[in-house]
Structure 1
Amino acid sequence: MKQTERVNEWLKKRRSIYFFLPNGPYGRPFDNQYYFDEVKELEDGFIIHFTDGLALRFNGEVTILESEDKLIIEDFRVCEFECRGIIQSRYDYGHVSLC
């Protein structure tokens, strides 16, 4: 199963999610909920779009783990967090947890 298919399958089972970036939560966990729009395959990775203009872009071959009710994405070369097309943060370490 491709990375995008696995992420898409996991996200489709949830009504909404919140997420933790490598440096901590975005917003207030449990209070701020985000709605998944699409997962799109890119030339060197994939991007997850949320309905409010947020996106997580992963470059490189990643490792995807499911732990309890979380999807953990790690081993990326670069992860970019975007808000309305503008990169807010860039990470080359750690992991992202979708909850």
Structure 2
Amino acid sequence: MEIESWIKSNAVFGLKLPDGWFGRPYDNQHKLTWVADRDNKLILELDNQMYLTFTKPIQLKASDSEFIVDDFQQIIFVLQVLHEVSAMERGLKT
């Protein structure tokens, strides 16, 4: 998968959502901990606590320093805060 090969050379990265950076730009670093590529969804787990679920079709673009998921129908962003059962969920569109 294109994502997994990009991650091998970019162990940590920043996260920019359609409505802006998650955390401080270029300061907050995240690690991909799990990937599932389904027929109509792409699910990425970051840091064992953040989940990005993209509704396909999507476009994947990779360069040396950026991996961009673009032109998706919808993204669901779920953050499981440590030691809390509840999750924060945001639905975003491109």
**Global fold match (TM > 0.5):** yes
Superposed counterparts of 1:33-44, under 5 Å:
33-44=29-40
Is 1:66 the counterpart of 2:62 in the alignment?
yes
User: Which structure 2 residue ranges, 5 or more long, are not aligned?
Assistant: 81-85
**Match in the other structure for 1:88:** 89
Q: Given the two structures, how large is their TM-score scaled by the length of structure 1?
A: 0.78
Deviation sequence 1:15-74 (CA, Å, 0-9, x none): 211110001000012221111101112241211111240111111111111244111111
Larger radius of gyration: 2
TM-score, normalised on structure 2? 0.82
Which structure ranks higher in relative contact order (CA pairs < 8 Å, sequence separation ≥ 6)?
1
Name segments (4+ residues, structure 1) moved above 3 Å. none
- Identical aligned residues as a percent: 22
Q: Contact conserved, 2:18 with 2:93, CA < 8 A, in 1?
A: no
Q: RMSD of aligned C-alpha atoms?
A: 1.8
The structure with the greater share of residues assigned to strand is 1
Question: Within 2, Cα distance between the matches of 1:87 and 1:42?
Answer: 23
Aligned length: 89
C-alpha change, 1:8 and 1:63, in structure 2 (3 Å) is: same
Deviation of 1:80 (Å):
1.1
Does the aligned pair in 2 maintain the 1:8–1:38 contact within 8 Å?
Answer: no
Q: Which amino acid aligns with 2:45?
A: H
